[in-house]
C-alpha cells in the first residue's frame, strides 16, 4: 500500500512533528517549551498542506500561525512572567477530564479512524479528485462574488470587533 | 499521492483528541489556549484533506476563515489573560473561583 | 476571465437588515470619536437609531424570501422572525445599559459598537445558509460578548466571567469546526441545501460516510450546545452570568441563545432532516440524542435552580432550563412532517422568553447596587412596599417564566408541548410539564419574598428612567403575547424550513 519515496518519507517526518508537538504541548512543565512544541506542531501541519497540494494555505499557515499567533503567545508568556516551571501539570478535575477525553477518543476511533477505510479500503470508494483547487480558485471564490463574499465581509467585522476588544481590555483607565 | 487521504483524516482525529485533552486537563490558561489552537489545526488538516478528496475550493476557504477566527481569538484571549494576570498575579484556571459553585 | 457579478446577482435587498446593522456598527465606531467622554449616552441613542433602522428594514422585507450572495445567505420568515427577537433584545440591552454603565463607571462608547456587532452576528447566524457562514457568524456573535462580559474589569468577577466564557467558547468553536469539517468530508459541500441533497445518496450507499456524518452532527451539537447552554455543556453558564455586568447578562442570555438555536435549527432542519441510519425510518438519526439532551437539561436546570440564593445565578439555571424547552422543540423537529410546526414553536418560545427574561434581568438590575452587589433572592424582601409597580411586574415575569396562562411563557410552552406530542415524544412532554411544576418553587419564592415577608424593602436605586422604559416594554410584550397570542403566531405563520419529504 505504501511505497517508500520522498513523499511518504516527508509524511512520516511531518506526522512526527505534528503528534510530537501536540504531545509536548499537553505534557510540558515549561511554558516556553510549550510554545516551541506548538510551533513544531503547526509547522508539521503546514508541511501536510504542501503534501495535500495546498501551497498557498501552507504559506499562510506559517505566516499567520507561526509568524503571528505563536509570537503573540510568546509575548503573553513573557508579560505574565509564567515561563518558570509549573508546579502542577494537571488541574483538579483531571480524572474526570481524562475519562471524557478517552470517551471522545473511543468515539472518534469508532466513527472516523476505523470507518474511513471503509469496506473497500477507501472513503466509501470516493476516488481522490483529479482537480486541485488552485490559489486562483481561492481568490475568485473569496471576492469574485462567486459565493463567499459574505463570510469574507463578516470576517472583516470579526477582526474589527477583536481589535476593539483587545484595546478595550488592555487599556488602562486614565 | 502516495499517502491515502484516510491517513490524514485519522491523524487529524488524533491531533484533535490531543488538543481536547490538553484543554480538559491543563490548568495554565495559556496552555489551555494553545491546546485550542491544536484542535483548530486538526480541523484545518481534516478540511484540507477532504478538500483534496473532493477537489473543491470550499475546504480551503473554510481553512482560510478558521485562520482568521484563530487570529481574532488569540488577540482577545491573550488580552484577557494579561488583564487577569494584572489583577490576580496568576493565570491558573483552578484559581478562578470568585463565584461559588 | 472573471465573471464579475452584478449587484442584482447578489440580491442585496434581502440582506439589508443584517447589513445595515453591521454598517451601523462601523459608522457608530467612527461617530463615537466625536462624542465627548461625559456625553456617551449620545452613542447609545445613535446605536438605538441604528437598531431601529434595521428593524424597519426587516419589517419592510418581512414576507420576502429567497437567497442572496449566491446561496450563502437565506432570507425567509424564519430569519425575519428571529431578527425581530434579536433586534428587540439589542434595543432593550442598550436601554438597560445606559444608566448601568454610568453607575458602574465603565461608560465607554465601544460598548455599544460591540453590542451592535454581536447583534449583527446573531442576525447573520439566523440567515446563514452555509456552514462557513454559520461558523464565522457564530464567532462574530461570541467575540464581542467575551469582551462585554469583561467590561467591569479590573473587577475580578467580571474578568473571570469573561475568561471562562472565552475559554469554553473557543473550545466549543473548535468542536463546531471539526464537526463541520466531517460533514464537509461526507458530503463534499458546505452549503446547507446541497448537504440535504447529498445525504439521501449517502444513506442509499450506506458507506462509511454515514459515520462521518454521524460524528459530524454530534460535534456540531457539542459546539452549538455550549453556546445555548444545554446539559452537559452548561457548567460555564452560572459563573459567566453572575460575573458579567447585568445588562450584558441580559443581552447574552437571550441573544446568544437566539443565535445558537438559529444555527442549530438551520443545520438540523435544512441540511440533515433525512439523515437516518437505515431506510424507512421517519425520525432523523439525531432525534434520540436531542431528546436525551433536552430531558437532562430540563431536569438539571430546574432542580439546581431551587438551591440558588443569587438572582443572577438563579436566572442562569433558569435560562439553562428554558434552553431545555427550546431543545424539546428542536428534538420534535426531527420527526418527518412535524419539522415546520416544531420550528415555529421554538421561535415563539424564544420570543416569549426574550420579553420575560429581559424584564426579569431589568428588575434584578434595578435592585443591584453600584458596585454590582446585592443581587440576592433576599434583596427582594419587601419590594412590594417600597416599589409596588416593580414588584407587580416582577410577579408577572416570574409567572410567565413558570408558564401560567395569560402570560407569554404559557403561549411558548403550549406550542412546544404540542409539537413534542405531535412528534410522538410523549415522555419528553411529560418531563417538560413536571419540570415546569418544579420550576414554580423558585419562581414563586421571589413573589413570596416580595409580598409576604416583612422587610425594609429595597429602594431599587437602579430603576432609573431608561431601565424603567425597558422593563415597561418587556412587561407589555409579555402580557400582549399572553393575551393576544395571534400577534406573534401570525408573524410566524409561513415559517417553512424543511422541504417536506416525499421520498424517504
Buried b (16+ CB within 10 A) or exposed e, A108-135: beebbbebbbbeeebbbebeeeeeebee
Residue C163 forms contact with A (CB below 8 Å)? no
Distance, in Å, from the CA atom of C333 to the CA atom of C344, rounded to the nearest integer, reads 10
- A19-33, A115-129, B76-90, C317-331, range with greatest mean pLDDT: C317-331
Percent of chain C whose pLDDT exceeds 70: 96
Within 8 A of A147 by CB-CB distance, chain C residues are 69-72, 130
Q: Which residues pair with C74 in a beta bridge?
A: C67
Mean pLDDT of the A40-68 span: 93
Query: How far away is chain B from the Cα of C163, in angstroms, using its nearest Cα?
Result: 6
Query: How far away is chain B from the Cα of A174, in angstroms, using its nearest Cα?
Result: 16
Residue C444 forms contact with A (CB below 8 Å)? no
Specify the pLDDT at position C69: 82
Residue C7 — pLDDT band, cuts 50, 70, 90? Answer: low
> Between chains, do B69 and C173 touch, taking CB under 8 Å as contact?
yes
Closest CA to C211 of C200, C220, C202: C202
Distances (CA, A) of C388 to A168, C179, C407, C452, C460: 39, 51, 20, 13, 11
> A49 near B60, Cβ under 8 Å?
no
Residue A110 forms contact with B (CB below 8 Å)? no
A70 pLDDT higher than 50: yes
Angle at C193 between CA C189 and CA C196, to 5 degrees: 80
Distance, in Å, from the CA atom of B53 to the CA atom of B51, rounded to the nearest integer, reads 5
Rg (CA), chain C: 22
> B25 near A90, Cβ under 8 Å?
yes
CB contacts < 8 A (A, C): 119
Specify the pLDDT at position B101: 45
Q: What is the pLDDT of residues C277-291, one digit of tens each?
A: 776 777 888 999 999
Packing angle, helices A31-51 and A71-79, rounded to 10: 170
C399 pLDDT higher than 80: yes
Q: What is the pLDDT of residues C49-104, one digit of tens each?
A: 999 999 999 999 888 888 888 788 888 889 999 999 999 999 999 999 999 999 88
Closest CA to A10 of C362, B2, C349: B2
Structural domain boundaries of chain A?
1-89, 94-124, 131-174
The terminus-to-terminus CA distance of chain B in angstroms comes to 53
Within 8 A of A101 by CB-CB distance, chain B residues are 17, 20-21, 24-25
Mean pLDDT of the C387-402 span: 94
Specify the pLDDT at position C132: 94
Give the mean pLDDT of chain A: 81
> Between chains, do C25 and A157 touch, taking CB under 8 Å as contact?
yes
Specify the pLDDT at position C133: 94
C16 pLDDT higher than 70: yes
Q: Give the residue on B whose Cα is nearest the Cα of C240.
A: B99
Specify the pLDDT at position C372: 81
The terminus-to-terminus CA distance of chain C in angstroms comes to 42
Packing angle, helices C209-228 and C287-306, rounded to 10: 20
Q: Show the 3-state SS of chain A.
A: CCCCCHHHHHHHHHHHHHHHHHHHHHHCCCHHHHHHHHHHHHHHHHHHHHHCCCHHHHHHHHHHHHHHHHHHHHHHHHHCCCCCCCCCCECCCHHHHHHHHHHHHHHHHHHHHCHHHCCCCCCCCCCCCCCCCCHHHHHHHHHCCCCCHHHHHHHHHHHHHHHHHHHHHHCCCC
Q: What is the pLDDT of residues A39-49, one digit of tens each?
A: 999 999 999 99
Mean pLDDT of the C108-126 span: 95
Distance, in Å, from the CA atom of C289 to the CA atom of C215, rounded to the nearest integer, reads 12
Query: How far away is chain C from the Cα of B2, in angstroms, using its nearest Cα?
Result: 20
A122 pLDDT higher than 60: no
Specify the pLDDT at position C56: 95
Q: Looking at chain C from residue 97 to 136, which residues have their Cβ under 8 Å from any Cβ of chain A?
A: 108, 110, 113-114, 117-118, 120-121, 124, 130, 132-133, 136
Q: What is the pLDDT of residues C186-216, one digit of tens each?
A: 898 999 999 998 988 888 877 778 888 888 9
The CATH number that domain B5-91 falls under is 1.10.287.3510
The partner residue sitting opposite A76, judged by closest CB among B5, B54, B82, is B82
Q: Which residues pair with C310 in a beta bridge?
A: C376
Q: Which other chains touch chain B, taking contact as 3+ CB pairs less than 8 Å apart? A: A, C
A1 pLDDT higher than 90: no
Q: Looking at chain C from residue 176 to 235, which residues have their Cβ under 8 Å from any Cβ of chain A?
A: 182, 185, 205, 207-209, 211-212, 214-215, 218
Query: How far away is chain B from the Cα of C473, in angstroms, using its nearest Cα?
Result: 32
Closest CA to C357 of C310, C313, C390, C400: C400
B44 pLDDT higher than 50: yes
- A77-91, A139-153, C322-336, range with greatest mean pLDDT: C322-336
Query: How far away is chain C from the Cα of A173, in angstroms, using its nearest Cα?
Result: 9
The alpha carbon of C171 is separated from its chain's Cα centroid by a whole number of angstroms, namely 20
> Between chains, do B51 and A54 touch, taking CB under 8 Å as contact?
yes
Residue C139 forms contact with B (CB below 8 Å)? yes
Burial (CB count <10 Å: 0-12, 13-18, 19+), residue A24: middle
Within 8 A of C130 by CB-CB distance, chain A residues are 147, 151
Specify the pLDDT at position C499: 58
Percent of chain A whose pLDDT exceeds 90: 33
The partner residue sitting opposite B87, judged by closest CB among C154, C173, C178, is C154
Residue C29 forms contact with A (CB below 8 Å)? yes
Percent of chain C whose pLDDT exceeds 90: 66
Specify the pLDDT at position C502: 36
Q: How high is the ipTM of this complex? A: 0.95
Give the mean pLDDT of chain C: 90
Q: What CATH topology corresponds to A1-89?
A: 1.20.120
Specify the pLDDT at position A91: 67
> Between chains, do B75 and A165 touch, taking CB under 8 Å as contact?
yes
Residue A100 — pLDDT band, cuts 50, 70, 90? Answer: confident
3-class state of residue C182 by DSSP: helix
Residue B2 — pLDDT band, cuts 50, 70, 90? Answer: low
Amino acid at each position: 500500500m505504501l511505497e517508500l519515496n520522498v513523499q511518504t518519507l516527508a509524511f512520516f517526518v511531518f506526522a512526527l512533528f505534528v503528534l510530537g508537538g501536540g504531545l509536548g504541548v499537553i505534557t510540558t512543565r515549561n511554558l516556553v517549551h510549550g510554545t516551541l512544541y506548538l510551533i513544531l506542531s503547526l509547522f508539521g501541519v503546514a508541511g501536510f498542506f504542501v503534501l495535500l497540494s495546498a501551497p498557498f494555505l501552507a504559506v499562510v499557515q506559517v505566516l499567520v500561525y507561526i509568524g503571528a499567533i505563536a509570537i503573540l503567545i510568546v509575548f503573553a508568556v513573557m508579560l505574565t512572567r509564567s515561563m518558570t516551571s509549573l508546579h502542577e501539570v494537571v488541574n483538579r478535575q483531571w480524572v474526570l477530564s481524562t475519562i471524557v477525553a478517552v470517551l471522545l477518543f473511543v468515539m472518534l476511533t469508532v466513527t472516523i479512524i476505523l470507518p474511513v477505510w471503509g469496506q473497500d479500503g477507501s472513503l466509501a470508494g470516493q476516488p481522490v479528485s483529479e482537480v486541485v483547487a488552485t490559489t486562483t480558485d481561492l481568490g475568485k471564490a473569496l471576492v469574485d462574488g462567486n459565493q463567499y463574499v459574505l463570510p469574507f465581509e463578516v470576517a472583516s467585522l470579526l477582526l474589527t470587533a477583536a481589535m476593539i476588544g483587545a484595546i478595550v481590555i488592555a487599556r488602562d483607565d486614565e | 499521492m502516495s499517502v491515502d487521504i484516510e491517513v490524514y483524516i485519522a491523524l487529524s482525529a488524533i491531533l484533535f483528541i490531543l488538543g481536547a485533552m490538553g484543554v480538559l486537563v491543563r490548568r495554565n490558561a495559556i496552555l489551555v489556549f494553545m491546546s485550542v489552537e491544536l484542535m483548530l489545526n486538526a480541523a484545518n488538516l481534516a478540511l484540507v484533506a477532504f478538500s483534496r478528496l473532493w477537489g473543491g475550493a470550499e475546504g480551503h476557504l473554510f481553512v482560510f476563515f478558521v485562520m482568521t477566527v484563530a487570529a481574532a481569538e488569540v488577540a482577545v484571549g491573550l488580552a484577557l489573560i494579561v488583564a487577569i494576570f494584572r489583577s490576580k498575579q496568576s493565570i491558573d484556571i483552578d484559581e478562578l473561583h470568585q463565584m461559588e459553585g | 476571465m472573471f465573471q464579475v457579478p452584478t449587484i442584482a446577482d447578489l440580491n442585496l435587498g434581502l440582506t439589508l437588515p443584517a447589513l445595515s446593522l453591521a454598517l451601523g456598527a462601523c459608522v457608530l465606531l467612527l461617530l463615537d470619536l466625536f462624542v465627548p467622554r461625559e456625553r456617551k449616552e449620545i452613542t447609545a441613542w445613535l446605536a438605538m437609531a441604528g437598531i431601529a433602522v434595521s428593524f424597519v428594514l426587516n419589517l419592510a422585507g418581512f414576507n420576502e424570501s429567497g437567497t442572496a450572495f449566491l446561496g450563502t445567505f437565506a432570507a425567509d420568515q424564519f430569519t425575519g422572525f428571529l431578527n425581530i427577537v434579536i433586534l428587540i433584545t439589542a434595543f432593550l440591552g442598550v436601554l438597560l445599559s445606559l444608566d448601568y454603565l454610568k453607575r458602574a463607571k465603565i461608560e465607554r462608547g465601544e460598548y455599544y459598537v460591540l453590542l451592535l456587532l454581536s447583534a449583527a452576528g446573531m442576525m447573520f447566524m439566523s440567515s446563514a445558509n452555509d456552514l462557513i457562514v454559520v461558523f464565522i457568524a457564530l464567532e462574530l456573535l461570541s467575540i464581542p460578548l467575551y469582551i462585554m462580559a469583561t467590561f467591569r474589569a479590573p473587577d475580578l468577577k467580571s474578568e473571570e466571567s469573561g475568561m471562562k466564557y472565552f475559554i469554553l467558547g473557543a473550545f466549543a468553536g473548535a468542536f463546531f469546526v471539526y464537526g463541520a469539517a466531517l460533514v464537509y468530508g461526507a458530503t463534499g459541500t458546505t452549503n446547507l441545501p446541497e448537504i440535504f441533497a447529498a445525504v439521501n445518496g449517502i444513506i442509499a450507499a450506506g458507506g462509511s460516510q454515514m459515520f462521518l456524518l454521524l460524528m459530524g452532527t454530534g460535534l456540531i451539537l457539542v459546539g452549538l450546545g455550549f453556546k445555548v447552554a444545554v446539559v452537559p455543556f452548561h457548567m460555564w453558564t452560572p459563573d459567566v452570568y453572575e460575573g458579567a455586568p447585568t445588562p450584558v447578562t441580559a443581552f447574552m442570555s437571550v441573544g446568544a441563545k437566539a443565535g445558537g438555536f438559529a444555527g442549530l435549527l438551520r443545520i438540523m432542519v435544512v441540511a440533515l432532516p433525512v439523515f437516518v441510519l437505515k431506510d424507512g425510518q421517519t425520525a432523523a438519526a439525531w432525534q434520540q440524542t436531542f431528546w436525551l439532551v433536552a430531558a437532562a437539561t430540563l431536569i438539571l436546570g430546574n432542580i439546581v435552580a431551587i438551591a440558588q440564593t443569587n438572582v443572577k445565578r438563579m436566572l442562569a439555571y433558569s435560562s439553562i432550563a428554558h434552553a431545555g424547552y427550546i431543545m424539546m422543540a428542536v428534538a420534535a423537529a426531527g420527526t418527518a412532517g412535524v419539522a415546520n410546526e416544531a420550528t415555529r414553536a421554538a421561535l415563539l418560545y424564544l420570543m416569549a422568553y426574550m420579553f420575560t427574561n429581559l424584564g426579569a434581568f431589568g428588575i434584578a438590575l434595578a435592585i443591584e447596587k453600584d458596585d454590582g452587589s446585592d443581587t440576592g433572592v433576599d434583596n427582594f424582601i419587601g419590594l412590594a412596599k417600597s416599589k409596588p409597580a416593580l414588584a407587580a411586574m416582577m410577579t408577572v415575569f416570574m409567572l410567565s417564566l413558570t408558564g401560567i396562562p395569560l402570560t407569554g411563557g404559557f403561549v411558548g410552552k403550549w406550542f412546544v408541548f404540542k409539537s413534542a406530542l405531535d412528534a410522538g415524544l410523549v415522555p419528553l412532554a411529560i418531563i417538560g410539564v413536571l419540570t415546569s411544576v418544579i420550576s414554580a418553587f423558585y419562581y414563586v419564592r421571589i413573589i413570596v419574598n416580595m409580598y409576604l415577608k416583612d422587610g425594609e424593602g429595597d429602594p431599587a436605586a437602579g430603576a432609573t428612567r431608561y431601565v424603567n422604559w425597558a422593563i415597561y416594554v418587556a412587561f407589555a410584550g409579555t402580557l400582549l403575547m399572553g393575551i393576544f397570542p395571534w400577534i406573534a403566531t401570525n408573524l410566524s405563520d409561513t415559517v417553512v424550513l424543511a422541504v417536506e419529504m416525499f421520498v424517504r
